[in-house]
């Protein structure tokens, strides 16, 4: 069983992010521009509280936002 408290889902497994709130993030298309990748990373700041090893998972995309990466 689960219930909602302060826009979070509380269940036996712990505190979960409401899937409705992350639907836009999940459905994103391939990000082609560095600015869009950076905007995406900014939008995930809150969700990292709920994702184990977020830093490791997001590292490849974080690397693509660095200024030393050239885009065609």
**For the chain, which residues make up each domain, given as ranges?**
23-72
What would the mean pLDDT of 44-61 be, rounded to a whole number?
Answer: 84
Rounded to two decimals, the pTM is 0.45
Q: Is the pLDDT of residue 29 over 60?
A: no
Query: What's the maximum distance between 2 C-alpha atoms anywhere in the chain?
Result: 50
Q: Is the pLDDT of residue 72 over 70?
A: no
- Please report which residue ranges of the chain form alpha helices under DSSP H: 19-26, 34-43, 54-64
Question: Which residues neighbour 18 within 8 Å (Cβ) at sequence distance 6 or greater?
Answer: 4, 7, 8, 9
Which residue's entry shows tokens 């836009």? 24
């Amino acid at each position: 069983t689960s219930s909602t408290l302060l826009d979070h889902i509380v269940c036996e497994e712990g505190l979960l992010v409401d899937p409705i709130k992350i639907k836009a993030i999940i459905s994103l298309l391939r990000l082609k521009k560095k600015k869009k990748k950076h905007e995406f990373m900014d939008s995930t700041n809150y969700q990292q509280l709920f994702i184990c090893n977020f830093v490791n998972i997001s590292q490849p995309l974080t690397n693509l936002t660095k200024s030393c990466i050239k885009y065609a």
